[in-house]
Amino acid sequence: MNSDHKALEQEALESLDPMAAVPKLAGPIGRVIGWVDTCFLTLAVVALVAIAVTVLLQICSRLFLPFSIAWTEELSRYLFIYMVALSVGVVLRQHRNISVELFHHLLGARMQAAFQVLICALIGLFAFLVLPYAWQYAQNGAWQTSPTLHVPMLYIFFSTVVTFALLLVYSLLGCLEGIIAMCRSSASLQEL
């Protein structure tokens, strides 16, 4: 029953996203990666909930208090930046980023894996090239503080380093999964 349910779930996912046919890493490594994914997604959801609470606080202060709280707009902006930065790797791994799907459904399993390797390699190359500049950008914030929260801007600018570092790591992971899928026999790809 459980394997039938899993097969139906995989088939439904593939009908929505043809690139989901490329299998993810399994075993202990796959479980660790899944745990790391869950941690990043949990942090992103916490940031989203904090944005909602901050915006509600801002609205309530404008409606019910004789003054408005100045730092809420700034905090919500920073939370949004980190929400995106923390979720970007998982979004890439789950193929939830914006893409044009004109021909994915026409590709066989090996070609889908090769396409994943190509896309992940290009994203990884871009992240690798931009990462040193992101670090330089983050260091510019060392002597600045935010206007209302008085937080060193290094922590805010560091979100660019987090973004491109996670893109680099997850693109390498996507390349590895694609290469493994390309090396497997066609019969084993159909079983997964």
> Given this model, what pLDDT does residue 1 score?
53
> Given this model, what pLDDT does residue 23 score?
74
C-alpha triplet 21, 27, 30: angle, nearest 5°: 60
* Residues in the chain with pLDDT values less than 50: 187, 189-192
Locate the domains of the chain by residue range. 27-186
3-state secondary structure the chain: CHHHHHHHHHHHHHHHCHHHHCCCCCHHHHHHHHHHHHHHHHHHHHHHHHHHHHHHHHHHHHHHCCCCCCHHHHHHHHHHHHHHHHHHHHHHHCCCCCCCCCCHHHCCHHHHHHHHHHHHHHHHHHHHHHHHHHHHHHHHHHHCECCCCCCEHHHHHHHHHHHHHHHHHHHHHHHHHHHHHHHCCHHHHHHC
> Given this model, what pLDDT does residue 191 score?
47
> Given this model, what pLDDT does residue 192 score?
46
> Given this model, what pLDDT does residue 21 score?
64
> Given this model, what pLDDT does residue 182 score?
86
C-alpha triplet 77, 83, 84: angle, nearest 5°: 95
> Given this model, what pLDDT does residue 15 score?
55
Quickly count: other Cβ atoms within 10 Å of residue 88's Cβ.
Answer: 21
> Given this model, what pLDDT does residue 48 score?
97
* Cα–Cα distance for residue pair 117/119, rounded to 1 Å: 6
Single-letter amino acid, residue 22 = V
Asked if residue 130 lies in contact with residue 166, where contact means CB atoms within 8 angstroms, the answer is: no
